[in-house]
Amino acid sequence: MKISIITVSFNSSATIEETLRSVHDQSYNDVEHIVVDGDSKDGTRTILNKYRNGLSALIIEPDYGIYDAMNKGIRSAKGDIIGFLNADDCYVSNKVLEKVVQAFREHDTDSVYGDLCYVAEHDTNEVIRFWKAGKCTKK
């Protein structure tokens, strides 16, 4: 089961590298990583080019905002599952995508979501806020 992870970015040089490593380091291997950058001017492009070989697609062009960029990524995606990991986000462990695939394989699952940890900009080990995801069931 192929997973397409779409990362949208714009002037994200301070955070994009951690995001790219977070996807690259996943234990699940059938991953297509698509990055859509809105023609950043802050050094993001240099970082993206450094990781270009590990990306399935790299689209660098002006866009009309985050949702336009997300839609460009969706149009490029070939995976059975599509997920988003924005340029200032990262996975909490290298097993996240493995668990996502497991949920789709073992249950009647249409979508998955998880807990969120908001961390300090200066120290990603400092949790500012934690949001615990609740169970969502079909009615």
Q: Is the pLDDT of residue 27 over 90?
A: yes
In this structure, the number of other CB atoms found within 10 A of the CB of residue 139 comes to 2
Look up the pTM and report it: 0.90
Judged against a pLDDT cut of 90, whether residue 41 lies above it is answered with: yes
Least confident stretch, 24-38, 52-66, 79-93, 103-117: 103-117
* 8-22, 78-92, 93-107, 120-134: segment of lowest average pLDDT: 120-134
The per-residue pLDDT for range 79-94, each reduced to its tens digit, is 999 999 999 999 999 9
Q: Are 100 and 2 in contact (CB under 8 A)?
A: no
| Runs of H (alpha helix) within 77-115 | 96-106
Closest CA to 84 of 53, 115, 42, 113: 113
Domain ranges of the chain: 3-107
pLDDT at 122: 79
CATH code matching the domain that covers 3-107, chosen among 3.40.50.300, 1.20.1280.50, 3.90.550.10, 2.60.40.10:
3.90.550.10
Instruction: Record the tokens describing residue 64, joined without a space.
Output: 């009309």
